[in-house]
Amino acid sequence: MSKDDNYYSLLECEPNSAPEKIKENYLRLARKFHPDKNSGQLTEKFIKIDKAWKVLGNINLRKQYDENCFRSELNDGIIIYARLRKEDLKFDENLTCSYSCRCGNEYLIHKEYLDVECILECSECSNNILIK
Ligand SMILES: [Zn+2]
- The predicted-structure confidence for 82-125, as pLDDT tens digits, reads as follows 999 988 899 999 899 999 999 999 999 988 878 677 888 899 99
Average pLDDT, the chain: 87
Q: Is 94 exposed, middle or buried (0-12, 13-18, 19+ CB in 10 A)?
A: exposed
Cα(83) to centroid of ligand 1, in Å? 14
Residues 68 and 83 in one domain: no
**Of 53, 75, 97, at which residue does a domain stop?**
75
Beta bridge partners of 118: 131
Query: Is residue 9 domain-shared with residue 71, that is, in the same domain?
Result: yes
Whether residue 64 is found in the same domain as residue 86: no
**Residues 125 and 82 placed together within one structural domain of the fold:** yes
Of 60, 75, 90, which closes a domain? 75
Distance separating alpha carbons of residues 4 and 48, to the nearest angstrom: 10
Whole-number Å distance, alpha carbon 97 to ligand 1 midpoint, is 16
Distance 81 CA to ligand 1 centre (A): 9
Domain CATH code at residue 54: 1.10.287.110
pLDDT for the residue numbered 1: 47
Question: Do 67 and 99 fall into the same domain?
Answer: no
**CA of residue 49 to ligand 1 center, whole Å:** 39
Q: Are residues 92 and 66 in the same domain?
A: no
The confidence score (pLDDT) of residue 50 equals: 95
What pLDDT, in 10s, does the model give residues 9-56? 999 999 899 999 999 999 999 999 999 888 888 889 999 999 999 999
Q: What pLDDT, on a 0 to 100 scale, did the predictor assign at position 76?
A: 61
Instruction: Report CA(114)–ligand 1 centroid distance (Å).
Output: 20
Label each residue of 67-116 as H, E or C: HHHHHHHHHHHCEEEEEECHHHCCCCCCCEEEEECCCCCEEEEEHHHCCC
Entry pTM: 0.53
Question: Measured in angstroms, how far is the CA atom of residue 127 from the centroid of ligand 1?
Answer: 5
Domain extent for 41 = 3-75
- What distance in angstroms lies between residue 107's CA and the mean position of ligand 1's atoms? 8
Ligand 1 center to 121 CA (angstroms): 8
